[in-house]
Amino acid sequence: MKTLTFLVAENDPNDIALLQKAFQSTRIDSPVRFCENGEELIQYLKGDGKFSDREQYPFPRVLITDLKMPRCGGFEVLQWLQNNPKCNVIPCIVMSNSDADKDVERAFKLGATAYFRKPDSFTKLCEIVRLNWNYWTESLLPTRSEVC
């Protein structure tokens, strides 16, 4: 089975801790890196600054983003991805507290690959993490350069 690096943009420390625990609990050994907002996620993808060390910050194969974050939110991340051909094929999963139809529709129009409402239970979060890991490890993904 191939190893995928997941890159997560999430600003809530509690949600970060829950996601970290979910990846550990489901025994997924793929690297998971966290960014505090979409701006940092874009810097990571570009390999800017500290993110230029791909040993420490491996190029991601799957993105997970929240929608509502300071400086640059998930919608802005999706827009940036659309405008950057080297990165716009990276699967981008939205995980948000919002289940508003307008947010779901806008995310998909901007190229989201999947949209999940943040679950109320840790068990459900683990199921979502496992589902996505299983799906993306079995899927063929385009080969891309190490920077966008």
Q: Is the pLDDT of residue 111 over 90?
A: yes
pLDDT tens, position by position, 34-58: 999 999 999 999 999 999 998 899 9
**pLDDT at res. 147:** 64
Q: Closest Cα partner for 118 from 106, 105, 103?
A: 103
Report the C-alpha gap between 29 and 13 in whole angstroms.
21
Q: Is the pLDDT of residue 1 over 70?
A: no
Of the two residues 141 and 41, the one the predictor is more confident about is 41
**pLDDT at res. 134:** 93
Domains of the chain, each with CATH number or no CATH: 11-138 (3.40.50.2300)
Percent of the chain with pLDDT over 70: 96
CA 78 and chain centroid, separation: 11
Give yes or no for a contact between 45 and 70, defined as CB atoms under 8 angstroms apart.
no
Quick count: other Cβ atoms within 10 Å of Cβ 111? 16
Report the C-alpha gap between 61 and 14 in whole angstroms.
24
